[in-house]
Amino acid sequence: MKLSLKLIATFFVALMMSFNVFAAKITITMGGDDERAMREHYRFALDWAEENGHEIGYVYRPASATDTLNLYQQICSSGSSDIDIFMIDVIWPGIFADCAYDLNNIFDDAHKADFFEGIVGNNTVGGKYVAVPYFTDAGLLYYRTDLLDKYGKSPPSTWSELAETAQFIQDKERAAGNAKMQGFVWQGAAYEGLTCDGIEWVNSFGGGNIIEADGTVSINNPNAIAALKTAASWVGTISPEDVVTYKEEDARGVWQTGNAVFMRNWPYAWSRSQADDSPIKDKVGAMALPGGGSDGKMTGALGGWQLMVNKNSKNPEIAADLIKHMTSVEVMKTKAIDTSNLPTRPVLYDDPDVKAANPFFGMLFDTFNNAVARPSTVSHKYYGQVSNVFFNEVHSVLTGSKSAEDAAAAMEKDLKALSRKF
Ligand code: GLC
């Protein structure tokens, strides 16, 4: 009798859980490059909460990926359960594997098979499924179609063409009275974004990937040095002096007011540029970033964000259910249309509505597929330190406090020392 009562009680609890009868508060942290977009994403979480009788807490992450990393590391090392779901960068699964709830408990191989295999692989650390791919990213070159047409210029396929066109149009527009016109805006502050821009320059010059997949530190080479010198030559010529303090939204701020010929940014900037209230609506093109030098190739850095459940969460299964919703075909499709976030489900690249909202998705599919990855897999939990070395040294070249040769030698020394720990 005792046993059967216990059985009935267990059955009843299981039944209630299957209907999510227990209301839970799930706190999610997202945000960053584009707060407005993330607030739009938040509504999907609210829909889910309403439908399932739960509540949502929302915590904005800082705009800088580097500041976000520091914040999340503090939360994780304190063992806090305050945040249930973290939106984590594509370079962080190795760093946060220990803090993650194993999503293999929830998502089987059939579910994973609908996402890009490479990203699922990236998010699997020592067999643990750390996070579900939320959206992917690739660095792009944006250009003003109206200004290029006005001056009879073509979109550039090399950095020297870009510099020439940027300088030409900047000079002409300033002479015509637009003193604010800039040739090229990008991310030059000392943070993770500069690691992305920097690896693009280096890779586009045939200068490798900073640290190669086999652990070789490759950054101290003539092509990488040439790339860094080229970028430094833009500061104060085709780019404003204070580009060395810019993050994504600073660059977009200049661009979006119509005051830049070219901008390096991520796909989210497309939907913002094309918004109804945008002064540059229908005057924008997007393409792969230029190549440099004789070994060069057009390129773009791989970025993107994943959703991870905190292993200390009080409600990991319910949190995972929210992730399932946030990464569903329906939500991902709406997100791709409204905010130009690249889907992590290949099927959506064939969707006519997604293609209509983002004409560059199809054109740049190869760029997205061949995007250059930062060396996070090889350096796993040391990636944050690797990136710090790289962006600080690159920053010192941009500000003129170090030569490209000295910075490359310093990076080689520091990264070799770090790589002994990998
Ligand atoms: C974007 C990318 C991310 C990258 C960050 C750098 O958000 O998706 O991967 O680390 O920019 O600022």
Q: What is the pLDDT along the chain (422 residues), one digit of tens a residue?
A: 455 555 555 555 455 555 545 899 999 998 776 677 777 788 899 999 999 999 999 888 898 999 999 999 999 999 999 999 999 999 999 999 999 999 999 999 999 999 999 999 999 999 999 999 999 999 999 999 999 999 999 999 999 999 999 999 999 999 999 999 999 999 999 999 999 999 999 999 999 999 999 999 999 999 999 999 999 999 999 999 999 999 999 999 999 999 999 999 999 999 999 999 999 999 999 999 999 988 889 999 999 999 999 999 999 999 999 999 999 999 999 999 999 999 999 999 999 999 999 999 988 888 888 899 999 999 999 999 999 999 999 999 999 999 999 999 999 999 999 999 99
Question: Which residues, in sequence order, are CB contacts of 130 under 8 Å at separation 6+?
Answer: 88, 93, 96, 97, 100, 102, 103, 123, 124, 306, 308
Ligand 1 pocket: which of 196, 200, 335 to mutate (most atoms within 8 A of CB): 196
Ligand 1 pocket: which of 90, 140, 192 to mutate (most atoms within 8 A of CB): 192
Ligand 1 geometric centre to CA of 151 (Å)? 33
Ligand 1 contact via 34 beta carbon (within 6 Å): no
Ligand 1 contact via 266 beta carbon (within 6 Å): yes
Ligand 1 contact via 33 beta carbon (within 6 Å): yes
Ligand 1 geometric centre to CA of 401 (Å)? 26
Spell out the domain ranges in the chain.
2-137+302-370
Ligand 1 closest atom vs CA 305: 8
Ligand 1 contact via 90 beta carbon (within 6 Å): yes
> Exposure of 67 by Cβ count < 10 A (0-12 exposed, 13-18 middle, 19+ buried)?
middle
- Is 292 strand, coil or helix? coil
Q: What would the two tokens of residue 158 be?
A: 């090399």
Ligand 1 geometric centre to CA of 335 (Å)? 17
φ and ψ of 18, to 5 deg: -65, -25
Task: Give the other-Cβ count within 10 Å of 200's Cβ.
Answer: 27
d(CA 300, CA 296) in angstroms, rounded, equals 13
Ligand 1 geometric centre to CA of 1 (Å)? 59
- Is 136 strand, coil or helix? strand
Ligand 1 geometric centre to CA of 363 (Å)? 22
d(CA 327, CA 344) in angstroms, rounded, equals 8
- Tell me the pTM: 0.94
DSSP 373-417: PPTHHHHGGGHHHHHHHHHHHHHHHHTTSS-HHHHHHHHHHHHHH
Ligand 1 closest atom vs CA 64: 12
Ligand 1 geometric centre to CA of 8 (Å)? 50
Ligand 1 geometric centre to CA of 211 (Å)? 19
In this structure, which CATH number among 3.10.290.10, 3.40.50.300, 3.40.1180.10, 3.40.190.10 belongs to the domain 2-137+302-370? 3.40.190.10
Task: Give the other-Cβ count within 10 Å of 21's Cβ.
Answer: 12
| Residue whose CA is at the smallest distance from ligand 1 atom 4 | 303
Ligand 1 geometric centre to CA of 89 (Å)? 7
